[in-house]
Structure 1
Amino acid sequence: MLSSPSSSRGGFAPRRGRGGWNRPSAKKWEPVKLDTDAHPLGELLQTVQGSDLKLVNASTDVSIDDCRYVASYNWLSDATTATIIAGRPPRWTPLQTPQRLKEDSGQYFRDPNAARCPEYPMAPVVKAILQQNPALDAGSIDLVACGSTLGNLLRFVRGIDKPFRFNVQVIGDTVFFIRKENDPKELIKDVRGFGHTFPDAYTTWDNDVKNSETHQRIVQYVFAGLKCFVRFEVDGYLKDRTAGGGSGDKVNLRSPTGPFSANDLSQAFGNATIGTASAIAKASNGSFNTTLRGSEIPQGSIFDLKTRSGKYKKDIDMSDMYPLLWIKQIPNFIVAYHDGAGLFQDIRVQDVRADVQRWEKENIDCIRRLSSLLNIIIDIARKDDKVLLEVISQKVNVLQIRRQHGQGMQALPVALQNEWLATSGGVSVEDDDLSSDTNAGHDAVYDSEEDWKFGSDDEEPDYTACSAEDCGYCGKCTY
């Protein structure tokens, strides 16, 4: 049992699920299939078989090196404000005396980032990076991705059967991977368990970041010679593992250049939605602003959180967790077991750095294949940087690199693309450039909300080992 002198509870904020308990299905759950009818495939450029991936030279270092904080932001539950930069994750504040928690209720987005910013899910990421790094040379960055897209590629090279797709665009010298679901505003069906109520009770948003829903962090590191920016959600931080027990050094924020223009807002945050369905109507008619509040939290203090039922005395299978912790370079892991009815008396706060390093050594061949696959995708993308690409895998060990169907989807609005290019003296793009015929031949995909279609499923998935960030609640993750 874990206890703490602190008794403050975390305020309500409908953050993403961290796993939980739900009733077993009568039938085997089938994961949501990629909807290629609603979102057709473009021209095939290359097929990659798992067996095609050559191990890079054994002398090549494929460890993750030089991991550093780059930027961060919080999505707010207030429909009138989009983000705060740098924000801060919620603080771990466990209850002195365990209390039986209510089961999860409400509606939650499968992909909160795309739901809030469906046209340009990477826009808030880049805005935060540019705001907090005025001296950035974007030309030195090879890849901007998220934990989900990299996690999918890592599963692929490990031979795990989980369909996925994501978009690819080159801006300047940087390749962007953009997560792609069947519907950016898809809700998680039949939410159960305690994956939301537990963090609400055991973590607290500090006063300057109250009313936050989620904290998004961007780190940079070098992997196999590639300089990467990786965004992921942070579940919280441990105050006793910050420098001096404080909140970490203040971020060197440059003064904002002024509020977004109406055009910026319509491009980057138009039709945005907030975390619960009740906020959608307000958000769609509201304006979004970015404010500067919060502070940097040291990487060594952040944690990932999962809840599990301890009813059957079965520990979480950490072999499913280590690959994702490795991608995100998260050093702390909290797993909370309940009695099957919401009473958490077995909460384990673990420093998993040594375990993740051990996993890296034991899986070095898979990591080398990941390096090979990343270089294949990046090389193809850079051959013609005006073409919008898509990476898709519909069955195990088979991955396709295609042109996006129709005009495709841009990673960023024009103004933000030009801000990114300007950091390295790149040539600006014009609106006309984005409507060129490089992906022409069909109508643009995702022109309206009606374009997003997804099939319904009869059976209820087991979300216990899932999360929105890592797998999009596939319902197939193992314990």
Structure 2
Amino acid sequence: MSTRRGASSSGRAGFAPRGGRGGRGDRGSGGRGGGRGGRSAPQRQAPPPQPDIFKHPLGNLVAKITTKDIDLTASNGTLSAAAAITECEYVASYNWMNDSTSTIMAPGKPPLWTPLSVPHQLNEDAGDFYRDPNAARFPSYPIEPAVQAIFKVDAAFSTSNIDVFTCGSTLGNLLRFVRNDDKLFHFTVELIGNTVFFLRKEGSPTELITGVRGFGHTFPEAYTTWEPDVKGSETHQRMVQYKFGGLRFILRFECDGYFNPALPQKSSYEEEDDDLAQALKAVSVSQSLPKQNNSLKIKTGGSEVPQSSIFDLKTRSGKYSQSIDMEQILPLLYLKQIPNFIVAYHNGAGLFPTKDIKVENFEKKIRQWEIDNKSALERLSVLLHKIIEIVKTDECGLLEIYRPSPDYLEIRKQHGDESHVLPLSLRQEWEAAGRHVADEFDSDQASSQEGEGVGLPRDYYSYDFDSDSEDDRDFTACSADDCGYCGRCTY
């Protein structure tokens, strides 16, 4: 008899817990448990956690950026045309594996959408869920798995034109700042090669999402499937690149699942209804962490999934008419360029009627959100350029961003010893992947000038030797330090 999720820990056929589907490191609103599950009665949502500046003390102030600063700069309209996402494409991906040591599989694959033909009552969420699964599973360098996956999927990947490497949570926090949302935050910034890395720094790597209620974890356990080639996966992390505000980004985020119309969605995965109902009642979700060390194991497996097929998912209580706040959802779908959205309403006791599971393509709504929020996106573009300029002029290129107030950001030195976002060997590899392309470009430029003279700049041949102007012919003002000897001053 085939099973839909494999065997449970007790050996009984059923749904094996997918523990890592809980804490959404790139959610920005507290992860899957924080905003997905509708409770059995309306409850006030807990406030988002505040940056822990006692655990992560602040260094000396370098600069302050206020909301007025970016309003004044954005108002000149010079960045209006660029303040939109273009040229979005998949870069790489990986799955966190449920192994005893820190292990990823690249490219991995998201769980497949496999809705039940007959709804069954689910247990409410229970267990511990980590806010940032990347930090929880690999606290020494939480961005390292993403960089390793990129080079694993494409060994010839060029880093020379990547301006910013970030996650959906951190970029979402900057967007909240320019939109005057109140959430405070704290993250590390480091320049590696030509790329500025943003790394969230808001609490302990093993910080838990507290007060998880509802069915935001057990629902995807029942309605999505890790396929055989990615069996044992916990989460799917994905990197896309795109242009925004004249900058090129790589953005990492967690993906809830994907659609594959070519595959059967029910019959090949389901058991007999009676057995399935028993298995579903046993569903529980929790996260277990691998042994902590500085070693990351990388497996090859899975396959690339197109961006057009992935989705984000939320659950709500239909009994209490809990609606989705799309003003919170659309900005994150926009930044991650996720085109599909599922919202599933339950009856208050864990039963999700098929008619109350809404699957929708959101591309038009996302494009409209971009149009409606043009001024905020212009301010975001200005803010990003200001941050990058400050980081690139810093002698170490290693700073922190802290938002202590809704009205301004602080850019500060790191407190104490330097804390890098990547280990030395990987920083060197990222820099080398940018220099290689630059060297090829210089070689091509040199080849294109063959036959035009040795050691002479290309514009030498456009000089007007018949000019009567003394100034045009006087090249003796160049200093010995600057002079590359163009040959003109011998005329």
TM-score band w.r.t. shorter chain: 0.7 to 0.9
Deviations 1:375-427 (A, max 9, x none): 0111111112524211111221211111111113211001111111111238x
Of residues 149, 152, 155, the one that matches 1:128 is: 149
Distance 1:421 1:286 in 2: 21
The match for 2:428 among 414, 418, 431 is 418
What is the CA-CA distance between 1:193 and the residue it aligns to?
Answer: 1.1
Aligned 1:356-371 pairs, distance under 5 A: 356-371=366-381
Q: Which residue of 2 aligns with 1:95?
A: 116
Aligned to 2:363: 353
Q: 1:411 to 1:51 in 2, by over 3 A?
A: same
Which aligned pairs between 1:133-152 and structure 2 lie closer than 5 A? Answer: 133-152=154-173
Counterpart-to-counterpart distance in 1, 2:42 and 2:339: 34
Q: Which amino acid aligns with 2:361?
A: D
Q: 1:26 to 1:172 in 2, by over 3 A?
A: closer
1:47 paired residue number: 64
Q: Which runs of 4+ in 1 moved over 6 A?
A: 23-28
d(CA) in 2 for partners of 1:37 and 1:415?
Answer: 31
Deviations 1:197-216 (A, max 9, x none): 00000000010101111000
Tell me, yes or no, if the aligned pair for 2:101 and 2:292 is still in contact at 8 Å.
no
Give the match for residue 306 of structure 2. Answer: 298
For the residue of structure 2 that corresponds to 1:297, the secondary structure is coil
Query: Is the alpha carbon distance of 1:100 and 1:114 closer, same or farther for their aligned partners in structure 2, counting shifts above 3 Å?
Result: same
Deviation at 1:132, TM superposition (A): 1.6
- 2:58 counterpart SS class: coil
Change (3 A) 1:311 1:28: closer
SS in 2 for 1:46: strand
Q: 1:425 to 1:24 in 2, by over 3 A?
A: same
1:26/1:291 Cα in 2 relative to 1: closer, same or farther (>3 Å)?
A: closer
Which residue of the partner structure matches residue 200 of structure 2? Answer: 179
Equivalent in 17, 20, 27 of residue 37 of structure 2: 20
List aligned pairs for 1:55-74, cutoff 5 A.
Answer: 55=74, 56-57=77-78, 60-74=81-95
1:414-464 C-alpha deviation (Å, 9 max, x unpaired): 1111111111238xxxxxxxxxxxxxxxxxxxxxxxxxxxxxxxxxxxxxx
Aligned pairs (5 A) from 1:294-333: 294-333=302-341
Between the aligned partners of 1:27 and 1:228, the Cα distance in structure 2 is: 36
**1:289 partnered with 2:297:** yes
Partner of 1:216: 237
CA RMSD of superposed structures (Å) = 2.4
Match of 2:417 among 396, 407, 412: 407
Instruction: Look up the SS of the partner of 2:173 in the other structure.
Output: helix
Measure how far apart 1:288 and its partner are.
Answer: 4.3
**How far apart are the structure 2 equivalents of 1:57 and 1:235?**
37
Identity %: 49
Contact 1:34 1:182 in 2 (8 A): yes
Q: TM-score, normalised by structure 2?
A: 0.75
Summarize deviations over 1:58-112 as a string: whole Å, max 9, x none.
6532111111110000001122451000000000000001101001111111111
Offset of residue 308 of structure 1: 0.7
Distance (Å, rounded) in 1 between the aligned partners of 2:258 and 2:40: 31
Matched, 1:342 2:342: no
Q: 2:138 aligns with which of 114, 117, 120?
A: 117
1:38 CA drift (Å): 2.2
- Whether the aligned pair in 1 keeps the contact of 2:41 and 2:320 (CA below 8 Å) is no
> What one-letter code is carried by the residue in structure 1 that aligns with 2:366?
V
CA contact (8 A) 2:51 2:201 kept: no
**Kept in 2: contact 1:221–1:227 (CA 8 A):** yes
Give the number of aligned pairs: 389
Unaligned ranges ≥5, structure 1: 1-5, 247-274, 427-479
User: Take 1:52 and 1:285, find their aligned partners in 2: how far apart are those partners?
Assistant: 43
Query: How far apart, in 2, do the equivalents of 1:88 and 1:40 lie?
Result: 38
**In the alignment, residue 321 of structure 1 is paired with which amino acid?**
I
Query: Structure 2: which 5+ residue stretches go unaligned?
Result: 6-14, 23-31, 265-284, 437-491
Q: Which has the larger radius of gyration?
A: 2
Query: Partners of 1:226 and 1:133 in 2: how far apart?
Result: 22
CA contact (8 A) 1:195 1:307 kept: yes
Q: With CA pairs under 8 Å and 6+ residues apart, which has the higher RCO, 1 or 2?
A: 1
Relative to structure 1, the CA distance from residue 26 to residue 67 in structure 2 (aligned partners, 3 Å threshold; closer, same or farther) is closer
